[in-house]
Amino acid sequence: MAERPYIVGNWKMNGTRAMLSEARAIDRAAQRYMKVEVAVAPPYTLIHAVHKEAEQIGVGAQDCHAGPEGAHTGDINAPMVADAGAKFVILGHSERRQDHAETNDCINAKIESAIDAGLRVILCCGETLETRDAGKAEEFVLGQLKAALPKFEDPAERLTVAYEPIWAIGTGRTATADDIAAMHGAIRQLLVDTYGEEASAMVRILYGGSVKPENAREILATPEVGGALVGGASLSAESFLGIVVGASESDES
Ligand code: PGA
């Protein structure tokens, strides 16, 4: 990996205040691996508390509403998560697309509102097994990105892309290194076509889907993999830090 690897924990709908001890342990250990950028996205209810504990790690949200404040019961918008201490937001995760029928247009609107609120964005994409078996994975993923990518000139500081094949999320299956390299290469080309060579060069492309300490090193050494978006294995400091260590070592190779 040429750039500083980015390892992000997505806690999904997990965690009460009892999890703050894990956040503290992750934060303390991250201070020993400064070559790796480490972050967690806890549920909304813990953003402020994790932000107050964190000295080293970044804290983010897992979603935000696209609109300004108003009558939307149960929703939380980008300025609100920024106010709670979030520095980034994960958008377009396949579980949001599935559970909440989020479309690429809706995700694009969320990205614009997040950027306006000063947040960095991790934009997720990924295909189902059916789409992959039909030989349409690349076309599908690039289609998702083309429709959702924001139209700004300098994406480097603000945008990260996460490729997460849906069939690899929470299943214990991971894509092969060849599959990951091919998809990340195609995404890189799209970023170059969209933003130009120089501006897109600093946009990291994360891989997500059953990343664990045991497979992290190989995945992170794959061409064009700039880090990992980690679900299940981010819920304990021990397994999450195993991935951070893998990132620090694959960076040396
Ligand atoms: P997983 O989830 O690591 O549990 O497969 C990854 C994700 O959905 O971000």
pLDDT in tens, 22-43: 999 999 999 999 999 999 999 9
Q: Closest ligand 1 atom, CA of 94?
A: 8
Judge whether 1 lies within some domain.
no
- Is 231's C-beta closer than 6 angstroms to any atom of ligand 1? yes
pLDDT of residue 150: 84
Judge whether residue 1 has pLDDT over 50.
Answer: no
pLDDT of residue 96: 97
Q: Which of 229, 234, 235 to mutate to test the pocket of ligand 1 (most atoms within 8 A of CB)?
A: 229
Express each pLDDT in 63-81 by its tens digit.
Answer: 999 999 999 999 999 999 9
Nearest CA to ligand 1 atom 7: 231
Mean pLDDT of 111-126: 96
* Burial of residue 181 (number of CB atoms within 10 Å: 0-12, 13-18, 19+): middle
Q: Residue 121: which of 4, 230, 204 has the closest Cα?
A: 204
Note the pTM of the prediction, 2 decimals.
0.96
CATH number, domain of 100, equals 3.20.20.70
Domain count, the chain: 1
The range of the structural domain enclosing residue 230 comes to: 6-252
Question: How many Å apart are CA 88 and CA 160, to the nearest integer?
Answer: 10
- Is 169's C-beta closer than 6 angstroms to any atom of ligand 1? yes
